[in-house]
Chains A and B, each alone.
Chain A
């Protein structure tokens, strides 16, 4: 293989030399001084006498005089000169026939000799000065061609690697862009399939307690699909990859373990689309992809844990608040669902919708500063009492602001009592000055207060509450949000959930 590469290099070198305009110009210039001359090139380091005969024979001035028999000894003497030039790696002059001259220039790089450029039959003996000039120029031309060849070889070697590296980088960006495991795992499976040019990919995660692998994502392009199933650690290729913590490769499958501190799962690809077996290079690429996948999976798992922790804290806080006015602060699941559905319908992004979920539970947390007798007063509040109630959004922010994870919820809590026409509190904001989350929460909390038991008002039916919200569209509530609210409440599943929770 190495010899093949060397021969290719030699062929390319002489191909470029023969096409080199610089060499042609140099031959013309030198040719003017030493004419007439026969220029020849030997494209390998060890020519035979027959080859030299062919090169010099056609233009030999004595051939026409019927002295063909003399050609062989002349070729032999030139071959001797070539051998000498090969040893010294220097340009060598010689007398080819009586009164005619020539020289041989060895084409070399360091110790390696590739061939020769030479002349014959010049009537003028070439002066050492001209030879020095020729030698220096030819050195430059050969070196430039060699550099060009090296660069192109380097480009050919590096380009596929750079493209592969760019693929790795793109995959990293794609899988780092989500912290949602239900989105992440299918994405990793799709990308593995694409990179491996395979027909099927499955990702299984380890259930450490049961010593099994649970299928979490699969992409199957075949018509006859395989059923997802649990696999015991140690069984089949995925199980073995997990047990031994190394890739397990067969002709039509490649199982790569997902290794963090421990093995957390396995990615298995099956059946390449060109029906070729998985290669060592495939194994290397999958191992790199698995390393990236592990980081993304661990991040998503940590994020989920963090989210559960935050939700747990919020629910605990709601429970504590609820002891003051039972049934007021622990929200019914339907109100949370309505808030989320409204956020999604209004094209809020995933983080904003999550904030809305937290706000649905915590929006009235600040009522902790409102005395019990005011909070549970069955009659109309006095001006002073109403002033105390109006402080609850800011008080809610004071309580929650210490939880960093809930920072994005604060504007919704602070402004959920603002009115669309600017008549609300605490700041009298109007229209788009009020954050969208707060405009949504204003409707959901008002609706909740109307249809659930409150000491200060008579309970309304769902339809009555919807009518009241419609009547206040454009004054208290944002008309666009009211429209969305009515659409969501009109949905069969939401309506039945509400009715079940309210009326049993």
Chain B
């Protein structure tokens, strides 16, 4: 999934917004699904898309995976601009 598609998907955008507003957060698919009020399976798949696009970082353990926000400051600024333009 390219960046253009990611930013036009409501679900992906909701996840990006959540992590952009809570940059120190690390959460599981279940946790993120709770915070944004979406289906866990769909969130899990979207989280993996965002990891592939380097917007999120995944820490994988046998029992679960923790997802956190990118530490790339240039990418964070770019996301900030996109989110502001979307209002």
Contacts and interface: CB of A to CB of B under 8 A. Distances in A.
Contacts of A173: 28, 61, 63-64, 66
A167 interface: yes
A178 B61 contact: yes
Of B66, B68, B71, most A-chain CB atoms within 10 Å: B66
Of A163, A177, A285, most B-chain CB atoms within 10 Å: A163
B45 interface: no
Contacts of B68: 194-195
A171 B26 contact: yes
Contacts of A196: 24
Contact of A163 (B35, B59, B69): B35
B26 A195 contact: yes
B33 to A, nearest CB: 11
Interface string B63-85: 11010110101000000000000
Interface of A: 160, 163-164, 166-167, 169-171, 173-174, 177-178, 187, 190-191, 193-197, 199, 221, 273-274, 285
Contacts of B62: 177-178
B31 A197 contact: no
Given A166-B25, A166-B27, A174 B59 contact: yes
A160 B25 CA distance: 10
A193 B59 CA distance: 12
Contacts of B9: none
A196 to B, nearest CB: 7
B53 interface: no
A194 B56 CA distance: 11
Nearest to B24: A195
Interface in B1-30: 22-28
B51 interface: no
Nearest to B63: A177
B26 A191 contact: yes
Interface residues of B, number: 21
A194 B27 contact: no
Contacts of B61: 173-174, 177-178, 187
Interface of B: 22-28, 31, 34-35, 57, 59, 61-64, 66, 68-69, 71, 73
A197 B71 contact: yes
B64 A174 contact: yes
Contacts of A166: 25, 27, 31, 34-35
B71 A221 contact: yes
Nearest to A171: B26
A165 to B, nearest CB: 10
A174 B66 contact: yes
A195 B25 CA distance: 6
A293 B68 CA distance: 18
B47 to A, nearest CB: 13
Contacts of A177: 61-64
Given A167-B25, A167-B27, A187 B59 contact: yes
A274 B72 CA distance: 10
18 contacts: A160-B22, A166-B27, A166-B34, A167-B24, A171-B66, A173-B63, A173-B64, A174-B64, A174-B66, A177-B61, A177-B62, A177-B63, A178-B61, A187-B59, A191-B59, A194-B68, A195-B68, A196-B24
A220 to B, nearest CB: 12
B26 A194 contact: yes
A163 B26 CA distance: 9
A61 to B, nearest CB: 46
Which 5 residue pairs of A and B lie closest in terms of their CB atoms, listed nearest first?
A177-B61, A194-B68, A170-B66, A166-B31, A177-B63
Nearest to B72: A273
Given A273-B71, A273-B73, A170 B64 contact: yes
A64 to B, nearest CB: 46
A193 B34 CA distance: 25
A170 B26 contact: yes
